[in-house]
Amino acid sequence: MNNTLLIDADIIAYQITSSIEEPINWGNDLFTLHSDFNLAKDKYREYIKGLTDTFSPNKIMLFLSDSNNFRKTIYPEYKLNRVDKRKPVCFSEFRKWLFENEEAISEPRLEADDLIGIYATNPEIKGNKIIVSIDKDFKTIPSTISVDGKTVIKVNKTNAQYNHAYQTLTGDNTDNIPGCPGIGPVNAKKILSNAIKGNYWPVVLEAFLKAKLTEKEALIQSRLTYILQHNDYNFKTKKVKLWSPNVR
C-alpha cells in the first residue's frame, strides 16, 4: 500500500526534548537542568520505527514551523500567550538536527500545520496521505489522521468545513484565538445546526454580529483557525491566500 506519512514535527520535537530533561541537585542550593542529546535522537528513531512498523510507508515527511507566522500580521495577539514559556533545553538543537539529518521541511511564515494541510490536500501526491499529529486542528481539513500513531480517522470535506466553523466560533485558548464572545461548545453546535446545505458562514457571521462585532472581526477569526490547503500558498512567490467565505 502506498502510504505517505505527514508528521507534525513541532509536537514531536517538543515531546521528545521535554521527556529527556533531568534536574540535578548538586547540593548547597545549586540545581541544574540537563539533557542527553543522544537520548533525544534515540527516542526519535524509536518513534519513527513504530510508525514504520504500523503503516509501512513509502515516504515519511517531517514539517516544522517557521519562526515567523502570517497569522500574526492579521492578528498580532496570535499565540502571544506562549511568548514567555520556556522551551526544553535542547529543543532548538533538535530542530536543527531534524533539518540537517532528517530532511525536515519548513516554509517562510508558515506553521507546520499549514504545510501538512497543503501536502495532505494536494491531488498530485498519490496514494494514502496520513497526517500524524495529536493536534485537533487537523480535523478542519479533509484528511486521514492518526492521533496515536496506530489507528486512523478520516475527515471528509463536509465535516472539515463544519469543524472549521465550530473552531471559529469557540476559538482556541492554546493559540490565543478568542473566537466569538460568549459562544461555547453547546451554543456553537446549536448555531451551526441552522446552516443551510453546509454553508456555515452566514450563521457564523450572524453570531458575531449579535455579539456586537463586525464582519471584519469574524473574518479574522475564520482566517486564524483555517489551516492552509492546496492552492492556498504559492511556493515560488511565498504568498498566502487567506481564507474567504466565497471559496468553500
The pLDDT tens digits of the residues spanning 95-120 come to 999 999 999 999 999 999 999 999 99
pLDDT, tens digit (0-9, with 9 covering 90-100), for 15-73: 999 999 999 999 998 999 999 999 999 999 999 999 999 999 999 999 999 999 999 99
pTM of structure: 0.93
So what's the pLDDT on residue 84?
79
Beta bridge partner(s), residue 130: 5, 144
Predicted pLDDT at 191 = 97
The Cα 200–Cα 178 span in angstroms is 19
Angle between helical axes of 9-19 and 37-55 (0-180°, round to 10):
130
Structural contact between residues 165 and 226, judged by C-beta atoms closer than 8 angstroms: no
Amino acid at 247: V
What integer is the mean pLDDT of 143-160? 95
Alpha-carbon distance 89 to 119, whole Å? 31
**Three cell numbers at 97?**
538536527
Render pLDDT for 220-244 as a digit per residue (tens, 0 to 9): 999 999 999 999 999 999 999 999 9
Is the pLDDT confidence value at 248 over 60? no
**Structure confidence at residue 1 (pLDDT):** 65
Residue 99 · residue 114 · CB < 8 Å? no
The answer on pLDDT for 124 being more than 60 is yes
Give the per-residue pLDDT at 83. 79
The rounded distance, in Å, linking the Cα atoms of 56 and 5 is 10
Taking a C-beta distance cutoff of 8 angstroms, is the pair 147, 138 a contact?
A: no
- Is residue 171 a contact partner of residue 179, using CB atoms and an 8 Å limit? yes
On average, the pLDDT of the chain sits at 95
Domains and CATH numbers, the chain: 3-155 (3.40.50.1010), 158-234 (1.10.150)
The pLDDT tens digits of the residues spanning 132-145 come to 999 999 999 999 99
Q: What is the pLDDT of residue 80?
A: 87
